[in-house]
Chain A
């Protein structure tokens, strides 16, 4: 027997898909912005902070990077209520994304800062700037520029990884695909279409990050 593909359901269900896309984008946006800020903070603490703080950040980074995102999500959504922290699906998904990206961003940014020539930092301090001022004005921007491609890749990974938030019933793109396949019994087609959409989102996100990089970082005058 040969299987005949059927995509007629798209006509009826496209609003579900669009809503899913928007939620996926919202999660990625919040995760990206807050996660990178968290990463910068953690990188600063890890490099210049007091020993106990460095330890806490180090433990956070290692714990997150060595456990699956899905388990982190379950722990936040199902586990935390035991401590009296009750979260909605979207809140939990957002927090999980931020916490996850924050750990990876911390390592990436730290590596970028450490690649900054030592003289830069010394020059800043010698001009009577404080550590924090030097960090903010002299070290951070060139460091971010250096690791922007790595950070962009990580954001794409996090966006693709966000597919699992459907498992706590956050209504993202994967949730939409699950919903559609349960109604239409067109599982393969539903997942195929959403896979293609993810692929497009990944490509667009990568381009957007590259464009953003050009916008926020001063261009080296090549002429």
Chain B
């Protein structure tokens, strides 16, 4: 059974229908890259999976449980699916370590000492064990994004959603973040990433989804999608003719 099952999902903002019937099944351990032009609906799809946007019709199942807008269910879902944002969104009033600890203690009621241990572990995993007490604005963009990854991992999610997580970074900081994501993929984490990093998509992902005008336009293993694009839209997007 697939971990995430998306069936005929529609979403509109006013007059503008951004998702026009999305079907997508994602198995445990898969690494998916969603690519496409801006406005193709790729970020919206990701936000729907996390319940940050409500869907107008269709269904999203995570671990066999239907996504609804009911607060309690949403809470359960979000503990299973973590999200990393383009703008990091660290809590600026809390140290890196506290950022990682907060949701554990508040949502999962993990005892402080244990939450701290997990936080240290997770920060170590992203190579920032030594910056536990640093405030977000004392960290570089790349470091902040790595803390954000540690923060999501601390909730022990079954899948991680990454929304253009390197787009706000200076070029020289992109590699350190992708390195962390690459290692997560190797460890078997289920990842769904909206990305502009085509090399990353080619090397790390099990499948690539090309979205166009609110639909899944083309889908397949990277070798196929990048090597032999079938549709003119994808060829144009990739700049091959």
Direct contact of A and B (CB under 8 A): no
| Residues of A near any B CB (own CB < 8 A) | none
